[in-house]
Structure 1
Amino acid sequence: MTTPTEPVIIVGGGQSGLAAARAAQHAGLRPLVLTAGVEPVGSWPDYYDNLTLFSPARYSSLPGLLFGGGEPDRYPARDEVVAYLRRYADGLDAEIRTGVRVTAVEVRSGGGYLVRTATGEEMSAAGIVAASGSFGNPYRPRLPGQADYAGDLRHVARYRRPDPYTGKRVVVVGAGNSAVQVAYELAARARVTLATRAPVQFMPQRIRGRDLHYWLRVTGTDRLPAAVLTRLIRHAAVLDTGVYRDALASGLVERREMFTAFTSEGVLWSDGTSEPVDAVIFATGYRPDVAYLAPLETLDRGVPRQVGGISTTHPGLVYLGLEFQRTFSSNTLRGVGRDAAHVVATLAAQVQGFGRRGPGGVGRVTRRSAAGTGE
């Protein structure tokens, strides 16, 4: 059986994990956040240098702390988000352990869960919040000849800045926000082609002088079930003020049908022509980074079996930060807090049903690092 002293372990210390910790406190649970990073800011420091949010600061806050820091209608840069998450973590009454990589979660005999870490530590948990995001599991398609390509091949997760590509021939694969944003910034220094399977579709960033996120909020669209919006959003994926559309229209960024194979020196285009290429960057998205749940046999080809963030296979296991988990904004700063309240309420009912105590106090934040286990 679980005991009153056992925490709910939250795997991941980014925006999802921090939102989960706050929700767990409010539900009377004792959260313990485990993050592989050196500080509880998730993957944000590892994104490319010039990344900016596609939502204004006024719509980019987690529950309990406004994003702040300046003009509310600006689009915050990567480092602003990192600083915001630091402030958020510092204000939580929760135990946060950095440098702890979770390698396995197992069902414990008698109830609850056993969490194993890369250093061999074992921890008991009344429940699990899988909030580890997807940045650690980038999706890279496999194409003929890929192993023989001698150029620079990487996922956008490993792209930082355009300087190393100056004067080079670069192909960016993908039709989403990151692909277009990276291709556009590279075009100032390199000759760039955006390779996609269909024409790039755009969604206006501003409508009648207001940012799109204003309209999503006032119309309630932002809270609609994900199934209602998934098809629309995925086929009109790139938010744009007009800059990116103009870049493609003018030829600053060329768009071509996706190539069919790699050669040792470049790519083979769909029209049968081959071309030497210095670098290929896959901006092809991510998959949930939840391999540590494999012992539970709750994954279907790596994808969690869940509905709205609630496990359909294991009581006491919930998810947070999955793309389109409940709404269009589920894996964003502005949306993850709503999902956290939802999944943690279910989790609280489940673990308290396993014999946990009712709501009680929690201690002040403590932060401990495990040397040598950071990302």
Structure 2
Amino acid sequence: MEQLNVVVIGGGQSGLAAAYALRRRGLTPVVLEASDQAAGSWPHYYDSLTLFSPARYSSLPGLPFGGDGDRYPHRDEVIAYLRRYAAQLDADIRTGHRVAEVRRDDKGFTLALQDGTELAARGVIAATGGFGRPNIPALPGLDSFAGEVLHVADYRSPEPFAGQRVVAVGAGNSAVQVATELASRARVTLASRAPVKWFKQRPLAGRDLHFWLKATGLDIAPLGRFTPNPPTMAVIDDGRYQTALIAGTPDRRPLFTAIEGTEVTWKDGTTEDVDTIVLATGYRPDLGYLAPLGALDEVGHPRHRDGTSLIHPGLGFVGLEWQRSLSSASLRGVGRDADRVTRRLARHLARL
């Protein structure tokens, strides 16, 4: 069995930031990435996705994003940036290596890969983030819906839905963006339990919201431990999405109350046929491989404080939503969390 120092599970933005921090501490990480490239979930996001943070606030440690710092990079730019980052990172990145489970042993951890290979490691960082497992909520009648149901994780572009009656469920950034895009090809309702909340993209003095989050310290405030159930974030808008909802493209309604076949019943008692329901209802941590360690709670969330496991001191997490702060799961914030987690892990390993 190959003996390794620290294994980072996941080669997206979180895993790359963790590997960078480990190298700076003199450790030699091996990064295991299930897909064929070190780009995380980004290649799977919808085609029109752009960051709502400017390029100057969208970098990992050690490599600026580049170009006009005030632009909002497209999904494909982020993928290219992560590839560049991985190429210049002095770390052993192994693609096509999916971890099936992690077990504890006398010297640290044993990692069983899906192909049957086993690896030994003194320390492990789980960096599969919070976007690997789409959340499918229990909505009234959804299980019996006779039309098409898809999560936004499987949505790419509006063209296949031309002429359809579509209901998009959710109230966050992805829900509003996808519903508005779909409304250019279909008749769309944005349905949610609560009204959409808004943040202005440039709230004051012409400065982007992220300038003010940094200037006020809100971006790094350690509020994660007080938010065990991450809230739906307000939609960051330059005005176009709010204008679209006011114009009814899409229209916004309270969540439906029942479904029978393809017929949806709304809160006011009216009914209509619907072709497709798109769920923009978030994600859950993709950490099932840690179940043998007892490191997760009853719903699969990690038991941790600021990214360090409360069960195994040799186990850390990077890239969880609200892991420590508002920015923990973002390009701009994951490096700070990685630095903190790897500092604690290095101290632990030095005592062994």
Query: Which bin holds the TM-score, normalised by the shorter protein?
Result: over 0.9
For these two proteins, the number of residue pairs brought into alignment is: 348
Distance (Å, rounded) in 2 between the aligned partners of 1:58 and 1:302: 34
Once the 2 structures are TM-superposed, how far is the Cα of residue 193 of structure 1 from its aligned partner? 0.4
Give the one of 258, 263, 268 matched to 2:265: 268
Asked if 1:126 is matched to 2:118, the reply is no
Distance (Å, rounded) in 2 between the aligned partners of 1:229 and 1:202: 22
Map of 1:351 onto structure 2: 349
Paired letter, 2:202: R
Percent identity reads 57
Map of 2:104 onto structure 1: 107
Distance (Å, rounded) in 1 between the aligned partners of 2:5 and 2:289: 18
State TM-score, norm by structure 2.
0.95
Map of 1:15 onto structure 2: 13
Distance (Å, rounded) in 1 between the aligned partners of 2:257 and 2:74: 35
Asked if 1:287 is matched to 2:284, the reply is yes
Distance (Å, rounded) in 1 between the aligned partners of 2:19 and 2:224: 27
Map of 1:37 onto structure 2: 35
Structure 1 unaligned residues grouped into runs of 5+ = 355-375
Distance (Å, rounded) in 2 between the aligned partners of 1:227 and 1:139: 20
Distance (Å, rounded) in 2 between the aligned partners of 1:139 and 1:152: 17
SS at the partner of 1:256?
A: strand
Distance (Å, rounded) in 2 between the aligned partners of 1:137 and 1:346: 27
Give the one of 157, 164, 169 matched to 2:165: 169
Once the 2 structures are TM-superposed, how far is the Cα of residue 134 of structure 1 from its aligned partner? 2.7
Once the 2 structures are TM-superposed, how far is the Cα of residue 260 of structure 1 from its aligned partner? 2.0
Distance (Å, rounded) in 2 between the aligned partners of 1:170 and 1:178: 15
Distance (Å, rounded) in 1 between the aligned partners of 2:259 and 2:146: 10
Once the 2 structures are TM-superposed, how far is the Cα of residue 234 of structure 1 from its aligned partner? 3.9
- Shift of the 284–220 alpha-carbon distance from structure 1 to 2, 3 Å rule, reads same
- Assess if the C-alpha contact under 8 Å between 2:9 and 2:127 holds in 1: yes
State TM-score, norm by structure 1.
0.90
Map of 2:274 onto structure 1: 277
Map of 1:213 onto structure 2: 210
| 1:128-143 alignment runs, 5 A limit | 128-143=124-139
- What are the superposed Cα offsets for residues 31-71 of structure 1, whole Å, 9 maximum, x if unpaired? 00001010111110000000000100010000000001x22
Let me know the Cα RMSD of the aligned residues. Answer: 1.7
- What are the superposed Cα offsets for residues 68-117 of structure 1, whole Å, 9 maximum, x if unpaired? 1x221010000000000000000011100001110100001x22000001
Paired letter, 1:123: L
- Assess if the C-alpha contact under 8 Å between 2:166 and 2:277 holds in 1: yes
Paired letter, 1:333: L
Map of 1:92 onto structure 2: 89
- Assess if the C-alpha contact under 8 Å between 1:8 and 1:30 holds in 2: yes
Once the 2 structures are TM-superposed, how far is the Cα of residue 217 of structure 1 from its aligned partner? 1.2
Once the 2 structures are TM-superposed, how far is the Cα of residue 135 of structure 1 from its aligned partner? 2.6
Distance (Å, rounded) in 2 between the aligned partners of 1:135 and 1:211: 25
Once the 2 structures are TM-superposed, how far is the Cα of residue 236 of structure 1 from its aligned partner? 5.5
Paired letter, 2:61: P
Asked if 1:153 is matched to 2:121, the reply is no
Q: Which moved more, 1:264-273 or 1:303-312?
A: 264-273
Once the 2 structures are TM-superposed, how far is the Cα of residue 278 of structure 1 from its aligned partner? 0.7
Give the one of 318, 322, 325 matched to 1:324: 322
- Assess if the C-alpha contact under 8 Å between 1:203 and 1:236 holds in 2: no
- Shift of the 236–37 alpha-carbon distance from structure 1 to 2, 3 Å rule, reads closer
Distance (Å, rounded) in 2 between the aligned partners of 1:283 and 1:107: 36
Structure 2 unaligned residues grouped into runs of 5+ = none
Paired letter, 1:151: G
Give the one of 197, 201, 225 matched to 2:197: 201
Distance (Å, rounded) in 2 between the aligned partners of 1:237 and 1:162: 23
SS at the partner of 2:136?
A: coil
Map of 1:366 onto structure 2: none
Distance (Å, rounded) in 2 between the aligned partners of 1:209 and 1:234: 27
- Assess if the C-alpha contact under 8 Å between 2:262 and 2:273 holds in 1: yes
- Assess if the C-alpha contact under 8 Å between 2:4 and 2:119 holds in 1: no
SS at the partner of 2:289?
A: helix
SS at the partner of 2:86?
A: helix
- Assess if the C-alpha contact under 8 Å between 2:172 and 2:232 holds in 1: no
Once the 2 structures are TM-superposed, how far is the Cα of residue 353 of structure 1 from its aligned partner? 1.3
